[in-house]
Chain A
C-alpha cells in the first residue's frame, strides 16, 4: 500500500521568497517519488523525480526536492519564487514497476508581488 500526505493545501509566498511545499509518503517498498505541477486548465507536468541514487534531485524551473528516507519525506523547494510559479503542485508515489502513482491532495501555491 502507498499513500501521500501534502501538508498545507494552500501556501502563499512573496515573490523572491523561499518556496517550501511539504510531502510525506508511505510505501511498503522503496518508493519512486514525483512532483507534478498543474497550471490552471492544463494537464499535469512532471517537475522532478526520485528513483534511486542521489537524494537531492533537481527539476525544471529551479525546483529541487530531497528524499529523506528516515523522515519519509520528499519536500519541494525553490530558493526564490517567481510569479509564474503560481500553480497547483502534486506529490506522487509509485512503488512498483510502472505501477499506478498515488497522488497527494495537492498544494496551491500563490505568489504575491
Chain B
C-alpha cells in the first residue's frame, strides 16, 4: 500500500541551526501539507502546497519556514533558524484532492520529531 515517508524520524539540533525535514508523498497525490504537533497538544496546520506553490499557510508559518518540492518527488520543510519552541513532531501529509472520485482525506507520514536544544 502506498504511503507517505518522512526522514529523519528524529533530529536533535542546536538553537539557531537550520533544519530540513524531508517527505516523499504518495506518487499520484497533488496536494501536500505540513502539520506540527507540540508534545501533548493538538495537531496544527502549517502550510499547504499545490501546483508548485503555497496555497495556504498559517500564522505559525512565518519567514523562518519554507517549503520546496525540489525534484518532483520530495517535499521539504526548512526551518531557517530553529528556536526552542520549534521542538515538535512534524507531520507531512498528501492528498489527491477530489479528482477522480476521491474524497480528499489526508494521508500522513509517521512524523519527524524535532528537538531543539
List A residues at the B interface (Cβ < 8 Å). Answer: 32, 34, 36, 42-46, 49, 51, 90, 92, 94, 97-106
Contact check, B43 vs A90: say whether CB atoms are below 8 A apart. yes
Q: How far is the CA of A103 from the CA of B44 in the complex (A)?
A: 7
Contact check, A49 vs B103: say whether CB atoms are below 8 A apart. yes
Contact check, A43 vs B110: say whether CB atoms are below 8 A apart. yes
Q: How far is the CA of A92 from the CA of B42 in the complex (A)?
A: 11
Q: How large, as a class, is the contact surface on chain B?
A: 20 to 34
Is there a chain A Cβ closer than 8 Å to B30's Cβ?
Answer: yes
Is there a chain A Cβ closer than 8 Å to B33's Cβ?
Answer: yes
Contact check, A32 vs B103: say whether CB atoms are below 8 A apart. yes
Contact check, B43 vs A44: say whether CB atoms are below 8 A apart. yes
Instruction: Name the A residues within 8 Å of B97 (CB-CB).
Output: 97-98
Q: How far is the CA of A64 from the CA of B76 in the complex (A)?
A: 35
Is there a chain A Cβ closer than 8 Å to B108's Cβ?
Answer: yes
Instruction: Name the A residues within 8 Å of B110 (CB-CB).
Output: 42-43
Q: How far is the CA of A43 from the CA of B103 in the complex (A)?
A: 20
CB contacts under 8 Å to A, within B30-46, are 30-31, 33, 35, 41-45
10 A–B pairs (Cβ distance < 8 Å), ordered by A? A32-B105, A34-B106, A36-B108, A42-B111, A49-B103, A92-B43, A98-B98, A98-B104, A100-B33, A102-B45
Q: How far is the CA of A6 from the CA of B42 in the complex (A)?
A: 11
Closest chain B residue, CB of each to CB of A36:
B108
Residues A43 and B91 in contact in the complex (CB < 8 Å), given A94-B104, A99-B48, A100-B48: yes
